[in-house]
Amino acid sequence: MDITTAEYIQRARNPRGAWGKARDWKKVYFDMKKFKEENPGLIEALEEISSWNSFAASLVQQFTQRGSLSEKQVGSAVAMLMKVAARKAERDNAPELDLSNIISMFSKAHEAIKTPKFRYEDLVISRAPDNGANAGALYVKVDGEYAGKVKEGKWFGIRTAPEGIINKLQEIAANPLESAVAYGRKTGNCACCGRELTRHDSIERGIGPICAERFGL
Ligand SMILES: [Zn+2]
């Protein structure tokens, strides 16, 4: 928001406006100008995200009232903006994969199981808790180590994630039942609950009958 002097006077004169409280509005105006010169682009960047970021919104509000922000606030604002930028870059760079079959399998399983899991080769996919920051996302571990997550249909692998993980996810997505059966036949355990397949027909089938139904396979 870059305001003109006329605009500022109009707002400052309105006692119900946010700036009506500022006693020395002229001082506030020059403080604002000075602050913007010293911190180029900072307020604009905060304004850009203040519709969904309450911390940014509160800083913008304080800035318009006081004409500046404290050094500590500037530090936190810069750190926060860097995080926002990093998350955006992460989203933009996330590979587009069609993982919809995995996502719908987990949605179905979630109707019966709080945190469903699915095993394939050395991968374990599990649904993130419903009340956390990653609600609805799927965590992927390789050999017990966290490797990344599927969120909003996209894959976010950590830097050290082993190669080939995307291919494995795509294999599961291409045919979840086939992947479950392959896992079951190879390990003798059910891909969904992890338990040993004991009944003859389950061993034959490669997946436990209850899990197959719960996971919609
Ligand atoms: Zn099972």
CA distance 84 to 86: 5
pTM value surpassing 0.95: no
| CA 196 – ligand 1 centroid, Å | 8
Identify the sign of the CA torsion 83, 84, 87, 89. Answer: negative
What is the rounded end-to-end Cα distance, in angstroms, of the chain? 54
| CA 137 – ligand 1 centroid, Å | 21
pLDDT (tens digit per residue) in 110-135: 999 998 999 999 999 999 998 888 88
Taking alpha carbons only, the member of 40, 200, 3, 176 closest to residue 104 is 176
pLDDT (tens digit per residue) in 145-185: 999 999 988 899 998 888 899 999 999 999 999 999 999 99
| CA 143 – ligand 1 centroid, Å | 20
| CA 189 – ligand 1 centroid, Å | 8
For the chain, domain boundaries: 5-93, 100-214
| CA 194 – ligand 1 centroid, Å | 6
Other C-beta atoms closer than 10 Å to the C-beta of 96 total 8
Q: How far is CA 3 from CA 88, 126, 208, in A?
A: 28, 50, 66
The residue with greater pLDDT, 91 or 217, is: 217
Structure tokens at 216: 């919609």
Q: Which residues contact 165 (CB under 8 A, 6 or more apart)?
A: 123, 140, 142, 147, 148, 157
| CA 37 – ligand 1 centroid, Å | 63
pLDDT value at residue 6: 62
| CA 197 – ligand 1 centroid, Å | 8
| CA 154 – ligand 1 centroid, Å | 27
pLDDT value at residue 7: 64
| CA 215 – ligand 1 centroid, Å | 9
| CA 217 – ligand 1 centroid, Å | 11
Q: What pairs with residue 149 in β-bridges?
A: 139, 156
| CA 127 – ligand 1 centroid, Å | 16
Which helix (H) or strand (E) segment holds residue 34: the answer is helix 25-38
